[in-house]
Chain A
Amino acid sequence: MSGPEASSDWGVFEREALPHAEGLFRLALWLVRDRSEAEELVQETLSQALTSFHRYKPGTNCRAWLTTILQHVRSNRWRAKSREPVVSDPDERFAKSLAFVPPVPDELTDEDLLAALRRIPSQYQDVILMCDVQELSYKEIAAALGIPIGTVMSRLHRGRDLLRIELAGYRGGVSRQAADLG
């Protein structure tokens, strides 16, 4: 694939981009929490990706490229609906409350894990999912979310610590809220 004409070929798009549709949907559904909205979000994301596929550089991380488009589509929809991002930046609020990070109990189920992730502030969820699940680099996460790399790093660090606090407080379906710990 060497130029726009070749890049726009359906076969290449099908091979490079479509395998990520399921992962994109899972991420979208997690983010928007509504199945039909997630379907629309991913459909629009893939449609935009198809239209601008000539901009995709072969050999780079297609999943990161698609995730960036998804974030842009999501942001635009937010603006269109006059909705504000859910949580103000609490980085400083948590900064001094994490001196000790407890171990994660072994008996946790996957459902417990995801439920704990859901309980931490959303901007930490976003970077954790992009790093751990989507396997984006810090630079790619920064580009997708429109934040500095330093912020990506600090949110990842604190987000994981918050998650572990949530998980450590989890006993038989009962958890402590991370926000209560400060």
Chain B
Amino acid sequence: MQCHEVRDLADAFIADELLVETNQEILRHLESCPDCRAEIAARRALRSRLKAAFAGAADLAPREEWLSEVRTRLQVESQSARRSWNSPATWLALAATVLLAAGLGLFTLAGSRGAAGLLALARSAVGDHRNCAVRFNLAEKPIPLSQAAEQYDPIYRVFEATPAASVSGRNGTIEVLERHSCVFEGRRFAHVVMKYQGELVSLLVTEANAGPLTRLPAPGESGLALAPGDGYNVVYQQARGYAVFVVASGNATMVRDVADAIDGDVLAHL
């Protein structure tokens, strides 16, 4: 093999793309040709340096928060693909995802578009359910829906009669216990507290495009931190700029039953 042939095949040789026989011919040539050895070495060195330079370039590095956001968004997509409901509308089930968000210790977000914003909203909804429906522990006293409709948004008036006081669920009756508007960590909700199979279930509706949302505390931090095992099941749907959540600490099937029973009525009015 001649020098010019070796030079022509140098890249393929380095990339291990040649036939065994051709490789051996090149190796035989290199044993006796210092110029071609130097050429191959130079090409190898350039390749290594380029890889290292590219991998280490700070201005090409992704943002850490973006990587976390992508991961979360893909996981939500993965879950939604597996958990599509049979109801007319397509609800997005976020069961256990709230705990994931807490575990990741995410996000600082402007607005609620995207899965990360959705998770932040879901977490606020869980916080409201726990601190309002379950513990009566809100910093700000709830107000009637009619008052909220006058002061903030006419949409609140919808929930004075939606869902109905008594709705048939798959395994029993869903009874409305209370309706009001409340605020959790600065976010205002229309809140309908229901009871189904002995469990408190919240319907929480909030404006989806309001922002920015505050950073979620990680487990162990003060404030709203869902400890591992302290799971709530959340189902979600967005309609006309409003995020609609059904939240309970019961099993996912029970929460889904409630959402299936009321979603048609809620969506029709939104």
B52 contact from A104, A110, A117, Cβ within 8 A: A110
Question: Which candidate, B24-32, B65-73, B133-141, is the interface stretch facing chain A?
Answer: B65-73
Q: Does chain A have a CB within 8 A of B113?
A: no
* One of B43, B70, B78 near A42 (C-beta < 8 A): B70
**Which residues of B have CB within 8 Å of A137?**
15, 17
Q: Is the CB of A160 within 8 A of B43?
A: yes
Q: Collect the chain A residues with CB atoms within 8 Å of residue B60's CB.
A: 25-26, 29-30
Task: Given A43-B70, A138-B15, A156-B11, check contact A104 B54 (CB 8 Å).
Answer: no
Q: Are B71 and A18 in contact (CB under 8 A)?
A: yes
Q: Restricting to B38-97, which residues have a CB under 8 Å from any CB of A? A: 39, 42-43, 45-47, 49-57, 60-63, 66-67, 70-71, 73-75, 77-79, 81
Alpha-carbon gap, A128 to B49, bound state (A): 12
Per-residue A-contact encoding for B191-224, CB less than 8 Å = 1, 0 else: 0000000000000000000000000000000000
> Would A132 and B56 be within 8 Å (CB), given that A21-B67, A138-B17 are in contact?
no
Bound complex: CA A24 to CA B49 (Å): 19
Question: Which residues on the A side are within 8 Å of B50 (C-beta)?
Answer: 113, 117, 128, 132-133
Q: What's the nearest-Cβ distance from chain B to residue A101, in Å? A: 8
Q: Shortest beta-carbon distance, B238 to chain A, in Å?
A: 18
8 A Cβ contacts from A110-128 to B: 110-111, 113-114, 117, 128
Complexed CA–CA distance, A57 and B74 (Å): 20
Bound-state CA distance A163–B70 (Å) is: 34
Interface centre among B45, B51, B53 (most CB of A within 10 A): B53
Chain A residue at minimal CB-CB distance from B54: A133
Determine if B5 is an interface residue (Cβ-Cβ < 8 Å).
no
B230 at the interface (CB under 8 A from A): no
In the complex, chain A residues whose CB is within 8 Å of the CB of B62 = 21-22, 25-26, 29, 39, 42
Contact: B47 with A132, CB < 8 Å?
yes
In the complex, are the beta carbons of A26 and B70 less than 8 A apart? no
- Asked if B12 CB lies within 8 Å of chain A CBs, one says yes
B interface residues, how many (CB within 8 angstroms): 36
Q: Confirm or deny: B21 has a beta carbon within 8 angstroms of a beta carbon on chain A.
A: no
One digit per residue, 1 when the CB lies within 8 angstroms of any chain B CB and 0 when it does not, for chain A 1-36 equals 000000010100110001001110110011000000
Chain A contacts with B in 77-121, Cβ cutoff 8 A: 101, 103-104, 110-111, 113-114, 117
Would you give the shortest CB distance from A66 to chain B, in whole angstroms? 13
Q: Which residue of B lies closest to A117 (CB)?
A: B50
Q: Is the CB of A10 within 8 A of B55?
A: no
Interface residues of A (CB under 8 A from B): 8, 10, 13-14, 18, 21-23, 25-26, 29-30, 39, 42-43, 46-47, 50-51, 101, 103-104, 110-111, 113-114, 117, 128-129, 131-133, 137-138, 153, 156-157, 160, 163-164, 167
Mind listing 23 A-B residue pairs with CB under 8 Å? Answer: A18-B74, A21-B71, A25-B62, A25-B67, A26-B55, A26-B57, A42-B62, A42-B70, A43-B73, A46-B70, A47-B73, A47-B77, A103-B42, A104-B46, A111-B53, A114-B54, A131-B15, A131-B47, A132-B47, A153-B11, A157-B11, A160-B11, A160-B46
Taking A26-B55, A43-B73, A113-B53 as known contacts, 15 extra A-B pairs with beta carbons closer than 8 A to each other, sorted by chain A number, are A10-B78, A21-B62, A22-B67, A23-B55, A30-B60, A46-B74, A47-B74, A104-B45, A110-B56, A113-B50, A131-B15, A133-B50, A153-B12, A157-B11, A164-B46
